[in-house]
Amino acid sequence: MRVTTKDFLRRGLIAAGTSLLLAAAPARAQSQDQAPLNSAADPVGDPAAAPQTPTPRIPIAQDPRIRPAYWESNIGFEGDTHATGFGFVGPQYIHPVASQASVVAGANVNYLHYSFNNFGGGKTHVNSPGVNAVAGLRVGGRNWVQFALGPGFKHRSITLEDASNTHLSTTHENRWGMNYNATMYLNPTNRNNVLGMYHYGTEDKYTWSTLRFLQQVNNFNGQGSRSHYLGVQVVGQGNKDVHSFQAGPIFEIVHVRSTTSVALGAGWKRSWYPIGPDQNGPYFTIGIWRRM
C-alpha cells in the first residue's frame, strides 16, 4: 500500500479542475448595470416633518477599471488505460479589489480511483472521495499570475489483491493536508493563449505541473455565438513512488453568449514506478466551465 500514489491523482484532480476553469478565459466578459437611486420629496408645510424625511443617498462613483465580482462553476473528468480516473464539481469566486488584483476562493467535491502493482505481485486498488478549498490572490489583467493555497481532505479505501486477484484486505484512512498552487495565464495575441500551472501537496509531497497552448480557429470578428480553439498540452507529475508524463491535443468550444466552455483532450501517457513495469497508453479528458 502506497499513500503517495493516492495523491498522485488527487493532485492532478485539483489542478485539472483549475486548468479547465482557465481554459474558458476567452469567454470571460461581463457588464454590470447600476440600479437607479430612489429620490425623496422635500417636506412641505409642517417643519416637524423635515427630520422624518429620508435623506437622498449620494451616489459614490465606482472605479471603472475594477470589474464586478463573479462566480464560476466547474465540472471535469479524466481517465486513462492505467485503471485510473477522477471527477470533480465545484464553484469558484473571483472578487476584483483593484484594476490589477483580485481575491479568489473556491471549493470542490472530488472522487478518484486508481490501481498499482504491490510487493506481493498483485494489485492495490484505491477509491478516494474528498473535498478541498483554496483561497489566494490574482495579479494582472489581460495577462495574470495567481497564487492560492488551502486545506484538503480525503477518505481513502485501499484494497489489496495477490497475484491471483484474490482479495487480501481492505483498509480505510482519512488524510488532511495543505496544497499550494501557482498559475500563469498569457495572451500573446487576441487569438491565442498560454496556460502554465504548478501544484504541490504536503500530504505526500506530490508535484503536478502543466503547460498548454490554444489557438483560436474561427469567429475572428466575434460576431458568432461560438469560438473554437485547438492546441496542445503537456503534463508532468509525481513523487518518489510514481512518475508520469503525458501529452496530446486539446479542443475547446466556447459559447460566448452563455459564457460556457467545453474542453476535450486526448493523448499518450507514460507512467513508471519503483515496483512493476512501466505503463503506456492513451488518456482522455473532458471539462465544462461556466461563468455565472
Residue with cell 502554465: 196
> Given CA atoms 140, 181, 212, 229 in this order, what sign does their dihedral have?
negative
Stretch 216-229: mean pLDDT, rounded? 93
Q: Tell whether the model's pLDDT for residue 23 goes beyond 50.
A: no
Pick 205 or 119 by higher pLDDT.
119
Q: What is the pTM of this model?
A: 0.73
Written as nine digits, the cell of 239 is 513523487
Amino acid occupying residue 25? A
The domain limits of the chain are 3-28+64-291
Alpha-carbon distance of 103 to 234, in angstroms, equals: 28
Pick 181 or 114 by higher pLDDT.
181
Q: What class does CATH assign to 3-28+64-291?
A: mainly beta
Give me the pLDDT at residue 57, please: 56
Q: Please state which of the ranges 42-51, 152-161, 173-182 shows the lowest mean pLDDT.
A: 42-51
Concatenating the DSSP letter of every residue in 55-92 gives PPP-PPPP-TTSPPPEEEEEEEEEEESSS-EEEEEEEE
The alpha carbon of 194 is separated from its chain's Cα centroid by a whole number of angstroms, namely: 15
Give me the pLDDT at residue 28, please: 40
What pLDDT digit, counting tens, does each position of 244-290 carry?
899 999 999 999 888 899 999 999 999 887 788 888 999 998 989 89
Contact criterion met (CB below 8 Å) for 182 and 145: yes
Alpha-carbon distance of 264 to 1, in angstroms, equals: 33
Give me the pLDDT at residue 120, please: 81
What pLDDT digit, counting tens, does each position of 85-113 carry?
778 899 989 999 999 999 999 998 888 78
Give me the pLDDT at residue 171, please: 93
